[in-house]
Amino acid sequence: MSTNLEKKSLSDFKGKKVISVVPSIDTGICSTQTRTFNHELANLEDTYVITISVDLPFEQARWCGAEGLDKAIMLSDYYDYSFGKSYGLLMEEWHLLARAVLVLDSHNKIVYTQYLENVNSEPDYISAITALKAIQ
């Protein structure tokens, strides 16, 4: 669900994608991850940076406004955890998503993944960005 309370799916975004999955946007590492991918990739053509968490859409919108990331795409999985369940990222005991990065080509084929066992670790930004830029 978008910050405008619209249901969204991958097919709504035509192009390459970095899906940045974070437990909660209001934590330091999650904020850093979201800022880093948006700053590094915001100007690439045919590319979307999509951050997904279980934060309420209103919280995601507030965070983007406070950070000055007015073009950031934030999606919330709070309602039914369908994304987290589909991708094996739901940490059921905490009702949060595990930290992960997925890079998809324009046909939504996954070309790079990083699942972090420790949610207190940052992802490998360089490898994800390199994988994205290698897509033809």
Give mean pLDDT, residues 74-79. 97
Q: What is the mean pLDDT of the chain?
A: 95
pLDDT of residue 136: 75
Identify the domain containing residue 122 by its residue range.
Answer: 14-133
Is 54 within 8 Å of 83 (Cβ atoms)? Answer: no
Number of independent structural domains in the chain: 1
Tell me the two tokens of residue 120.
Answer: 């207190």
Model confidence, pTM: 0.95
Secondary-structure breakdown of the chain: helix, strand, coil percentages, each rounded to the nearest 5: 30, 25, 45
pLDDT of residue 43: 86
Quick check: is 47 in a domain? yes
Q: Say if residue 41's pLDDT is above 90.
A: yes
pLDDT of residue 66: 95
CA distances 34 to 28, 92, 93, 106, Å, are 10, 23, 24, 21
Give the pLDDT confidence of 81-136 residue by residue, as tens digits: 999 999 999 999 999 999 999 999 999 999 999 999 999 999 999 999 999 999 97
64 is annotated as an active-site residue: no
Quick check: is 62 in a domain? yes
Residues of the chain with pLDDT > 90: what percent? 93
Q: Which residue is catalytic, options 18, 21, 25, 30?
A: 30
Give mean pLDDT, residues 62-85. 94
Quick check: is 6 in a domain? no
Give mean pLDDT, residues 13-17. 94
Quick check: is 5 in a domain? no
Tell me, what DSSP letter sits at residue 98?
Answer: P
Q: What is the CATH number of the domain that holds 23?
A: 3.40.30.10
Give mean pLDDT, residues 70-81. 94
